[in-house]
């Protein structure tokens, strides 16, 4: 590519990177707001999360359009093509994270009483871990850090354990008639949304490996 053409392409890649960063911030912010609304019984905050999800949808559409336009215009190859393809798939995963945050916010509005301290503590354990996973994989994306991305991938098993603990705890409460059955059912769905957010973090980790190293498939443990 001529110098001015290369600069134009790099500028467009940076703009695409910024769109992904904005969507990542939107996903994290939505998750934080939904959890606060759920744990502290704040319906106004839940409604803001639901309303703001339109921003995540708009960013996702913008990313998809940019990927199509850049692919057609520049016909990139090798690492540049991987960057563009991975950006679209990372955006799709972040959009699903935002959807799960919206679903958690919606569930918080359907509870018939505030959740108990024990429920809040177990939810927070899973939510804090999943949020950390998402934040770390977004950091790995910016730094193009394959090792950090793989650490997130391997860390998903801990999220599964925390989800199973929460799931069985909530199920035992429902079976034993402790607390609100309505709340218990909604919190089971919240737990599943949190577990799925962890899965999307690992999907993003896989895309980072593909983008940087061209590697597809499960990573191997570090020696």
Q: What is the CATH number of the domain that holds 139?
A: 1.20.58.220
In a domain, 221, yes or no: no
Domain assignment of residue 68, yes or no = yes
117: containing domain: 3-213
Residue 222 resides in a domain: no
Environment class of 11 (CB within 10 Å of its CB; exposed 0-12, middle 13-18, buried 19+): exposed
Q: Specify the number of domains making up the chain.
A: 1
Per the structure block, which two tokens stand in for 86?
A: 């991975």
pLDDT along the chain (223 residues), means of 10: 75 95 98 97 97 97 96 90 95 98 98 95 97 98 96 96 97 93 96 98 97 77 51
Instruction: Give me the helices (H) in the chain, please.
Output: 3-40, 43-74, 78-110, 117-143, 146-154, 156-175, 181-213
Is residue 219 assigned to a domain? no
């Amino acid at each position: 590519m001529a110098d001015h053409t290369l600069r134009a392409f790099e500028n467009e890649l940076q703009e695409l990177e910024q769109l992904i960063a904005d969507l990542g911030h939107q996903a994290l912010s939505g998750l934080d707001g939904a959890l606060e609304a759920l744990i502290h019984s704040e319906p106004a905050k839940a409604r803001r999360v639901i309303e703001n999800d339109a921003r995540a949808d708009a960013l996702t559409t913008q990313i998809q359009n940019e990927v199509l336009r850049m692919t057609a215009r520049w016909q990139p190859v090798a690492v540049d093509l991987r960057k563009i393809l991975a950006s679209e798939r990372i955006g799709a995963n972040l959009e699903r994270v935002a959807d799960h945050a919206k679903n958690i916010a919606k569930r918080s509005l359907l509870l018939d009483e505030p959740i108990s301290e024990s429920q809040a503590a177990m939810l927070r354990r899973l939510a804090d871990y999943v949020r950390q996973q998402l934040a770390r994989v977004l950091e790995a994306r910016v730094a193009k850090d394959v090792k950090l991305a793989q650490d997130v991938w391997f860390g998903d098993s801990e999220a599964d354990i925390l989800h199973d603990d929460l799931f069985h705890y909530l199920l035992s409460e429902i079976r034993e008639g402790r607390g609100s059955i309505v709340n218990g059912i909604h919190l089971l769905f919240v737990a599943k949304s949190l577990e799925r957010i962890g899965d999307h973090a690992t999907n993003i980790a896989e895309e980072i490996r593909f983008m940087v190293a061209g590697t597809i498939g499960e990573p191997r443990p570090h020696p």
